[in-house]
Chain A
Protein backbone atom coordinates (compact mmCIF):
# COMPACT_ATOMS: atom_id res chain seq x y z
CA UNK A 1 0.00 0.00 0.00
CA UNK A 2 1.15 3.51 -0.69
CA UNK A 3 2.27 5.66 2.21
CA UNK A 4 3.34 9.26 2.67
CA UNK A 5 5.98 10.46 5.12
CA UNK A 6 6.40 13.95 6.45
CA UNK A 7 9.44 13.89 8.67
CA UNK A 8 9.12 17.38 10.12
CA UNK A 9 6.28 17.34 12.65
CA UNK A 10 6.76 20.82 14.05
CA UNK A 11 8.85 23.59 12.51
CA UNK A 12 9.48 26.98 14.06
CA UNK A 13 10.91 29.76 11.88
CA UNK A 14 11.42 33.47 12.17
CA UNK A 15 9.80 35.74 9.59
CA UNK A 16 11.83 36.02 6.38
CA UNK A 17 13.51 32.65 6.92
CA UNK A 18 13.43 30.11 4.13
CA UNK A 19 11.21 27.06 4.39
CA UNK A 20 11.53 23.52 3.15
CA UNK A 21 9.13 20.81 4.29
CA UNK A 22 9.90 17.25 3.34
CA UNK A 23 7.49 14.78 1.78
CA UNK A 24 8.34 11.27 0.63
CA UNK A 25 6.00 8.64 -0.71
CA UNK A 26 6.27 4.95 -1.31
CA UNK A 27 4.91 3.85 -4.66
CA UNK A 28 6.77 3.02 -7.80
CA UNK A 29 4.14 3.93 -10.34
CA UNK A 30 2.70 7.17 -11.63
CA UNK A 31 1.38 9.47 -8.94
CA UNK A 32 -0.41 12.75 -8.53
CA UNK A 33 0.94 14.88 -5.70
CA UNK A 34 -0.64 17.59 -3.60
CA UNK A 35 0.15 19.96 -0.77
CA UNK A 36 -2.76 21.14 1.33
CA UNK A 37 -2.69 23.81 4.03
CA UNK A 38 -4.90 24.27 7.05
CA UNK A 39 -4.73 27.76 8.55
CA UNK A 40 -5.97 28.09 12.15
CA UNK A 41 -9.75 27.91 12.16
CA UNK A 42 -10.04 27.58 8.40
CA UNK A 43 -10.84 24.90 5.82
CA UNK A 44 -8.17 22.62 4.47
CA UNK A 45 -7.25 24.15 1.12
CA UNK A 46 -5.11 23.22 -1.84
CA UNK A 47 -1.70 24.91 -1.96
CA UNK A 48 -0.39 23.28 -5.13
CA UNK A 49 -0.53 20.10 -7.17
CA UNK A 50 1.56 18.08 -9.58
CA UNK A 51 0.02 15.90 -12.27
CA UNK A 52 2.65 15.84 -15.03
CA UNK A 53 5.10 18.04 -16.91
CA UNK A 54 7.46 20.51 -15.25
CA UNK A 55 8.50 18.97 -11.93
CA UNK A 56 8.78 22.41 -10.34
CA UNK A 57 5.28 23.47 -9.43
CA UNK A 58 4.23 26.95 -8.35
CA UNK A 59 1.35 27.37 -5.93
CA UNK A 60 -0.47 30.11 -4.12
CA UNK A 61 1.14 32.61 -1.73
CA UNK A 62 4.67 32.13 -3.10
CA UNK A 63 4.93 28.42 -2.35
CA UNK A 64 6.52 25.95 -4.73
CA UNK A 65 7.30 22.25 -4.70
CA UNK A 66 9.66 20.07 -6.66
CA UNK A 67 8.85 16.54 -7.73
CA UNK A 68 11.98 14.38 -7.78
CA UNK A 69 10.91 11.00 -9.08
CA UNK A 70 14.21 9.27 -8.31
CA UNK A 71 13.91 10.27 -4.67
CA UNK A 72 10.13 9.71 -4.38
CA UNK A 73 9.94 13.22 -2.97
CA UNK A 74 7.75 16.29 -3.30
CA UNK A 75 9.23 18.87 -0.94
CA UNK A 76 7.49 22.18 -0.31
CA UNK A 77 9.52 25.40 -0.34
CA UNK A 78 9.12 29.10 0.22
CA UNK A 79 12.07 31.51 0.08
CA UNK A 80 10.80 33.87 2.77
CA UNK A 81 8.01 32.95 5.19
CA UNK A 82 5.56 35.38 6.73
CA UNK A 83 3.78 35.25 10.06
CA UNK A 84 0.57 34.51 8.15
CA UNK A 85 2.07 31.23 6.90
CA UNK A 86 1.58 29.76 10.37
CA UNK A 87 -0.53 26.69 9.63
CA UNK A 88 -0.48 22.93 9.30
CA UNK A 89 0.74 21.56 5.98
CA UNK A 90 -0.23 18.18 4.56
CA UNK A 91 1.33 16.31 1.69
CA UNK A 92 -0.97 13.89 -0.19
CA UNK A 93 -0.51 11.32 -2.92
CA UNK A 94 -2.97 9.79 -5.36
CA UNK A 95 -2.21 6.85 -7.60
CA UNK A 96 -2.69 7.77 -11.24
CA UNK A 97 -4.53 4.66 -12.33
CA UNK A 98 -7.40 6.36 -14.13
CA UNK A 99 -9.85 4.38 -12.04
CA UNK A 100 -11.31 4.78 -8.61
CA UNK A 101 -8.54 5.88 -6.28
CA UNK A 102 -8.07 7.90 -3.16
CA UNK A 103 -5.73 10.37 -1.55
CA UNK A 104 -3.28 9.19 1.06
CA UNK A 105 -2.19 11.97 3.41
CA UNK A 106 0.96 12.43 5.41
CA UNK A 107 0.73 13.13 9.13
CA UNK A 108 1.19 16.85 8.64
CA UNK A 109 3.76 19.47 9.60
CA UNK A 110 2.86 22.26 11.94
CA UNK A 111 4.65 25.46 10.93
CA UNK A 112 4.95 28.26 13.44
CA UNK A 113 6.36 31.56 12.17
CA UNK A 114 7.52 34.01 14.81
CA UNK A 115 7.83 37.76 14.43
Chain B
Protein backbone atom coordinates (compact mmCIF):
# COMPACT_ATOMS: atom_id res chain seq x y z
CA UNK B 1 0.00 0.00 0.00
CA UNK B 2 1.39 3.37 -1.00
CA UNK B 3 1.08 6.17 1.45
CA UNK B 4 2.48 8.36 4.18
CA UNK B 5 3.16 7.10 7.66
CA UNK B 6 3.69 9.23 10.72
CA UNK B 7 4.76 7.95 14.06
CA UNK B 8 3.88 7.95 16.80
CA UNK B 9 0.17 8.83 16.76
CA UNK B 10 0.38 10.43 20.21
CA UNK B 11 3.47 11.93 21.80
CA UNK B 12 3.94 13.41 25.23
CA UNK B 13 6.94 15.46 26.30
CA UNK B 14 8.02 17.67 29.12
CA UNK B 15 8.69 21.33 28.50
CA UNK B 16 12.30 22.03 27.55
CA UNK B 17 12.84 18.78 25.69
CA UNK B 18 13.36 18.51 21.96
CA UNK B 19 11.21 15.94 20.20
CA UNK B 20 11.39 14.49 16.69
CA UNK B 21 8.33 13.48 14.68
CA UNK B 22 8.73 10.89 11.98
CA UNK B 23 7.32 11.07 8.45
CA UNK B 24 7.92 8.44 5.75
CA UNK B 25 6.40 8.15 2.28
CA UNK B 26 6.60 5.39 -0.31
CA UNK B 27 4.85 7.31 -3.08
CA UNK B 28 8.15 8.30 -4.75
CA UNK B 29 7.17 11.94 -4.33
CA UNK B 30 9.81 14.63 -4.59
CA UNK B 31 8.20 17.19 -2.32
CA UNK B 32 7.34 16.85 1.34
CA UNK B 33 5.71 19.23 3.82
CA UNK B 34 5.05 19.72 7.50
CA UNK B 35 1.94 21.48 8.75
CA UNK B 36 0.64 22.33 12.15
CA UNK B 37 -3.11 22.18 12.80
CA UNK B 38 -4.67 24.09 15.68
CA UNK B 39 -8.40 24.38 16.39
CA UNK B 40 -9.94 27.26 14.46
CA UNK B 41 -6.70 28.06 12.62
CA UNK B 42 -6.61 25.55 9.81
CA UNK B 43 -3.29 24.19 8.62
CA UNK B 44 -0.16 26.32 8.73
CA UNK B 45 2.98 25.41 6.84
CA UNK B 46 6.11 24.86 8.95
CA UNK B 47 8.71 23.62 6.44
CA UNK B 48 8.76 22.08 3.01
CA UNK B 49 11.31 20.29 0.87
CA UNK B 50 11.46 19.99 -2.91
CA UNK B 51 14.34 17.54 -3.16
CA UNK B 52 16.79 15.65 -0.99
CA UNK B 53 19.15 17.84 1.05
CA UNK B 54 17.05 20.94 0.41
CA UNK B 55 14.27 22.53 2.43
CA UNK B 56 12.64 25.92 2.89
CA UNK B 57 10.92 27.65 5.78
CA UNK B 58 7.18 27.93 5.69
CA UNK B 59 5.03 30.47 7.47
CA UNK B 60 5.76 29.38 11.04
CA UNK B 61 9.25 27.84 11.04
CA UNK B 62 10.51 29.37 14.28
CA UNK B 63 11.26 26.74 16.91
CA UNK B 64 11.30 23.88 14.40
CA UNK B 65 13.98 22.15 12.36
CA UNK B 66 13.91 19.53 9.60
CA UNK B 67 16.22 17.37 7.55
CA UNK B 68 15.83 15.62 4.21
CA UNK B 69 18.62 13.08 3.89
CA UNK B 70 16.48 10.56 2.00
CA UNK B 71 13.70 11.05 -0.51
CA UNK B 72 11.33 8.95 1.60
CA UNK B 73 11.88 10.65 4.93
CA UNK B 74 11.29 14.15 6.28
CA UNK B 75 11.56 14.22 10.09
CA UNK B 76 10.51 17.31 12.05
CA UNK B 77 12.17 18.32 15.32
CA UNK B 78 10.17 20.48 17.68
CA UNK B 79 12.77 22.29 19.75
CA UNK B 80 12.50 23.77 23.20
CA UNK B 81 12.46 27.20 21.51
CA UNK B 82 8.96 26.58 20.14
CA UNK B 83 6.71 28.53 22.51
CA UNK B 84 3.45 26.64 21.91
CA UNK B 85 4.41 23.16 20.74
CA UNK B 86 1.22 21.36 21.73
CA UNK B 87 -0.61 20.76 18.45
CA UNK B 88 -1.57 18.25 15.79
CA UNK B 89 1.23 17.85 13.22
CA UNK B 90 0.54 16.71 9.68
CA UNK B 91 3.06 15.57 7.11
CA UNK B 92 2.24 15.66 3.40
CA UNK B 93 3.89 14.89 0.11
CA UNK B 94 3.37 15.71 -3.57
CA UNK B 95 5.02 14.73 -6.82
CA UNK B 96 6.63 18.14 -6.83
CA UNK B 97 6.15 21.52 -5.29
CA UNK B 98 3.77 23.46 -7.45
CA UNK B 99 0.18 24.21 -8.25
CA UNK B 100 -0.47 21.22 -10.49
CA UNK B 101 0.53 18.73 -7.87
CA UNK B 102 -1.94 17.80 -5.16
CA UNK B 103 -0.74 16.97 -1.69
CA UNK B 104 -1.34 13.68 0.10
CA UNK B 105 -1.48 13.69 3.88
CA UNK B 106 -0.40 11.34 6.61
CA UNK B 107 -2.52 10.46 9.66
CA UNK B 108 -0.84 13.03 11.88
CA UNK B 109 0.92 13.09 15.26
CA UNK B 110 -0.71 14.74 18.24
CA UNK B 111 2.01 16.27 20.41
CA UNK B 112 1.31 17.32 23.97
CA UNK B 113 3.95 19.23 25.91
CA UNK B 114 3.44 19.81 29.62
**A97 in complex: contacting residue of B44, B56, B99, CB < 8 Å:** B99
Q: Does A96 contact B (CB under 8 A)?
A: yes
Binary interface encoding of chain A residues 1-42 relative to chain B, with 1 for a CB under 8 A from any of its CBs, else 0: 000101001000000000000000000000110101000001
- What is the number of residues of chain B that contact chain A, defined by CB distance less than 8 Å? 25
Nearest chain A CB to B69's CB is how many angstroms away? 20
Binary interface encoding of chain B residues 45-73 relative to chain A, with 1 for a CB under 8 A from any of its CBs, else 0: 10010100000101000000000000000
Nearest chain B CB to A9's CB is how many angstroms away? 7
A102 touches B102 (CB 8 A): no
Other A-B contacts than A51-B100, A100-B50, 6 sampled, CB-CB below 8 A, are: A44-B92, A46-B103, A99-B98, A102-B45, A102-B48, A105-B42
Q: CA of A105 to CA of B41 in the docked complex: distance in angstroms?
A: 9
Q: Does A101 contact B (CB under 8 A)?
A: yes
B99 touches A101 (CB 8 A): yes
